[in-house]
Copies of this chain bind each other. A is one copy, B any other.
Amino acid sequence: MSPIFYQKDVHLVAIDCIIMGFKDNDLHILTARRPFEPFKGGWSLMGGFVNANESVNNAAKRVAAEFTGISNIYMEQVGAYGDVDRDLGERVISIAYFALVDIELFDRSLADKFNTRWVKVSLLPQLVFDHNDMVRDTIAILQKRAAIKPIGFNLLSKEFTLPVLQSLYEAIYQESIDKRNFRKKILGMEILEKLDEKDKNSSKRGAYYYQFNKEKYDQLVQQGLHFSL
């Protein structure tokens, strides 16, 4: 009766990464023209296979670093996608991860090497296999997670202005937010530090730069206080 006496089936296990960046007031996803059959030339997420000697989490980090040139990326697992014929070539079980990167750190030489492009989430084309499902599930997770954890900062440079931070949250939630209410709430948390410099690119007056204070945040969490936007 015991399964140990049967031959157990083995599977190809892949990683697919939903690599997200923020620019031009919009969330973007790194996509590539798929270089292999099946669906050669179709738009695809960044992927790779899990090797025998690496954890699934490490495989995801490896893949994300390979296509962006960035290490230490913030990543979360989205889930396993396991329909028998989800990959039309052969059976592959894929584990999807989303990655939040500061798009400024992206190594642009890799865009040529891998034929990748940052596309707006709102203008995402049809992707191969079930990759659109993965993106949809990612956005659902991101909306929930961003509301209760300060993960949005991973999408910004270390220094950012409040108008940019607000437009990031508007992009994530896909709805506009009242400026005064947003500032009241985010500044009320006391996890941001106001700097003396201003960003004068987007307005004549200029907007002050802020930076996220992780130490203060961790301290507040320990006191039982919670991020909530």
Binding site for B on A (CB under 8 A): 2-4, 8-13, 35-36, 48-57, 59, 77, 79-84, 91, 93, 95, 144
Contact = CB atoms under 8 A, between A and B. Distances in A.
Contact of A77 (B35, B50, B80, B84): B80
B95 A80 contact: yes
Copies of this protein in the complex: 2
A80 B52 contact: no
Given A10-B11, A82-B57, A3 B49 contact: yes
Tell me the interface secondary structure of chain A in the complex: mixed
Contacts of A2: 35-36
In order of increasing CB-CB distance, the 4 nearest A-B pairs are A56-B82, A10-B10, A9-B52, A80-B80
A91 B52 contact: yes
Contacts of A54: 84
Nearest to A10: B10
A76 to B, nearest CB: 10
A49 B3 CA distance: 8
A68 to B, nearest CB: 18
B13 A11 contact: yes
Given A10-B12, A55-B84, A77-B80, 18 more contacts: A2-B35, A8-B12, A9-B51, A9-B52, A10-B10, A10-B13, A11-B11, A11-B50, A50-B93, A52-B91, A53-B84, A54-B84, A55-B82, A55-B83, A57-B82, A77-B79, A80-B80, A82-B95
